[in-house]
């Protein structure tokens, strides 16, 4: 049976992978430089002082601390949830992904005042906003939370 420490360890791995990927990008790309990877994929170094989709990125700097406090608060709440229910594997995995991603982006906000983004997808002239490993973990975690809630609801409605 998984323990909370296992989930915390996985969150730590996510933070390390996120920070390692960002270090590699910072060492090898200049700001705004684009490197072609595939017809739908580029590497591009950008800094996002806002949240997802550059929400509040145009503000004078207060959002840095707001998003840092939110991410730390949510991560603290997740840590408590993981201690209370570590055996619920899908829920715990989802929460762990969100926590690891949130903490990876917090490190950037503290170090740089913005989140380092570098993965850019595009198709037919439309470009998805650049993102990073932490953002990917948060997104997958959020999707898994929805799946977990839908399957938990079905189990309650259809007990066998």
* Residues marked as catalytic: 117, 135
CA-closest candidate to residue 97, choices 65, 139, 58, 137: 137
CA-closest candidate to residue 90, choices 28, 143, 126: 143
Give 102: exposed, middle or buried? Use CB within 10 Å, 0-12, 13-18, 19+. buried
How is the beta sheet containing 34-38 ordered, strand by strand? 34-38, 41-48, 115-123, 126-127
């Amino acid at each position: 049976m998984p323990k909370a420490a296992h989930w915390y360890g996985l969150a730590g791995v996510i933070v390390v992978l996120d920070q390692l990927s960002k270090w590699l990008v910072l060492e090898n790309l200049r700001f705004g430089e684009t490197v072609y990877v595939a017809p739908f994929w580029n590497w591009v170094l950008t800094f996002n002082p806002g949240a997802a989709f550059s929400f509040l990125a145009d503000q004078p700097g207060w959002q840095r601390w707001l998003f840092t406090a939110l991410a730390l608060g949510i991560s603290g709440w997740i840590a408590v949830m993981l201690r209370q229910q570590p055996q619920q594997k899908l829920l715990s995995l989802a929460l762990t992904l969100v926590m690891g991603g949130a903490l990876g982006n917090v490190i950037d906000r503290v170090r740089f005042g913005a989140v380092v983004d570098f993965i850019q997808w595009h198709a037919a002239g439309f470009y998805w906003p650049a993102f990073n490993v932490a953002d990917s973990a948060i997104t997958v975690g959020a999707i898994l939370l929805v799946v977990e809630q839908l399957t938990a609801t079905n189990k309650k409605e259809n007990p066998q």
